[in-house]
C-alpha cells in the first residue's frame, strides 16, 4: 500500500505539491469515491484511480500510441511549433515522455510515445530490424518494375543504397512500403530518386504494432499488454 500523493509523484505524473492541490480540490477518485486526503493509502496495482475523470496508470514506464496529424513535430520540445508531446491528451502526460523515432512534419500516423529509453533505443537500433509500414500516395503512377527496383534497393543522391524493402501497390498512385531502416526522409528520397513525388505518407505499423483504423488523427491510447511486449522484447 502506498500514499495516494506518493503514487502520483513516484510515477512522475504530478509532483507531491501539485497532486495535493488537485486531491484537495476533489479532482481525484479511488474506486469511484472522491478522496480529499493526500495520505490516503492505495494499492496502485489494483485500485482504480482517476484524475480529472481520466483513469490513471501507475506504471514505471508508459507506452502510448498517437495518430500524429500533419503539422506536428516528432520531438519533445520545440520553441515554435507544436510537438507530439504538446498535443498528447492531458491524461497521458507525465515527465520524461518522448517519441520513439521521427516522422516528418507532414507525415501522419503511428508514433509510439514512452519514457522507457532502453526499449526505445532497442527498437530503433538497426540490429532490431523493426518493420515500419507506410501507406503512400504519389504524384505520378508507380509501375510494377519501379516497385521491384525499389524493393531491391535504390541509390540515393547522397550515394547511400537503401536496404531491401517490400512494396505492395494498391493502385496506380498508392501502396504500402515496408522498411527495416529509418534514414532521413527515406521514402520521399526513394521515390524522388525514381523521378516521382510522395504526396501523402502515413505510418500504419511499427515493430508489429498496428495503428487501429478507429484511432483518429490527434487521438492516443495506451499500448495493450501484447503490443507492449512487441515494443519492449
Residues in contact with ligand URA by CB under 6 A are 103-104, 107, 185-188, 201
Among candidate residues 104, 116, 140, 158, the one labeled active-site is 104
Nearer to ligand URA, 49 or 111 (CB): 111
Q: Which three cell numbers stand for residue 135?
A: 501507406
- Give the Cα separation of 232 and 163 in Å (integer): 24
The smaller minimum CB distance to ligand URA, of residues 62 and 187, is found at: 187
**Minimum gap (Å) between residue 202 Cβ and ligand URA:** 9
Which of 154, 175, 171, 176 lies closest to 163 in space, CA to CA?
Answer: 154
Of the pair 37, 168, the CB lying nearest ligand URA is at 168
Query: What minimum distance in Å lies between the beta carbon of 107 and ligand URA?
Result: 3
Name the minimum Å distance from CB 203 to ligand URA: 7
21: Cβ–Cβ under 8 A, 6 or more apart, which residues? Answer: none
Minimum Å gap between C-beta 180 and ligand URA is 12
Q: How far is CA 26 from CA 16, 18, 38, 232, in A?
A: 15, 13, 11, 36
**Shortest distance (Å) from residue 142 CB to ligand URA:** 15
Q: Which is nearer to ligand URA, 97 or 179 (CB)?
A: 179
CA distances from 75 to 39, 78, 102, 164, 186 (A): 36, 7, 8, 28, 18
Q: Which residue, 122 or 188, is less far from ligand URA as judged by CB?
A: 188
Q: CA-CA distance, 67 to 202, in Å (whole number)?
A: 9
47 is catalytic: no
Taking the C-alpha atoms of residue 32 and residue 123, their distance in angstroms, rounded to an integer, is: 38
Closest CA to 30 of 64, 60, 65, 1: 1
Residues with a known catalytic role? 104
Amino acid at each position: 500500500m502506498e500514499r495516494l500523493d506518493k503514487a502520483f509523484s513516484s510515477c512522475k505524473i504530478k509532483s507531491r505539491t501539485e497532486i495535493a492541490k488537485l486531491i484537495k480540490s476533489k479532482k481525484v477518485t479511488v474506486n469511484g469515491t472522491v478522496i480529499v486526503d493526500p495520505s490516503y493509502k492505495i494499492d496502485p496495482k489494483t485500485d482504480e484511480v482517476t484524475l480529472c475523470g481520466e483513469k490513471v496508470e501507475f506504471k514505471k514506464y508508459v507506452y502510448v500510441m498517437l495518430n500524429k496529424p500533419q503539422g506536428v513535430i516528432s520531438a519533445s520540445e520545440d520553441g515554435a511549433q507544436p510537438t507530439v508531446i504538446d498535443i498528447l491528451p492531458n491524461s497521458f502526460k507525465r515527465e520524461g515522455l518522448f517519441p520513439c523515432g521521427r516522422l516528418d512534419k507532414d507525415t501522419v500516423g503511428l508514433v509510439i510515445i514512452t519514457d522507457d529509453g532502453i526499449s526505445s533505443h532497442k527498437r530503433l537500433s538497426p540490429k532490431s530490424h523493426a518493420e515500419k509500414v507506410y501507406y503512400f500516395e504519389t504524384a505520378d503512377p508507380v509501375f510494377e518494375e519501379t516497385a521491384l527496383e525499389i524493393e531491391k534497393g535504390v541509390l540515393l543522391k547522397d550515394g547511400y543504397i537503401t536496404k531491401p524493402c517490400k512494396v505492395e501497390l494498391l493502385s496506380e498512385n498508392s501502396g504500402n512500403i515496408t522498411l527495416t531502416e529509418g534514414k532521413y526522409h527515406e521514402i520521399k528520397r526513394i521515390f524522388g530518386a525514381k523521378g516521382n513525388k510522395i504526396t501523402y505518407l502515413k505510418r500504419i505499423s511499427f515493430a508489429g504494432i498496428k495503428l487501429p483504423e478507429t484511432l483518429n488523427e490527434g487521438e492516443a491510447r495506451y499500448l495493450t499488454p501484447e503490443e507492449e511486449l512487441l515494443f519492449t522484447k
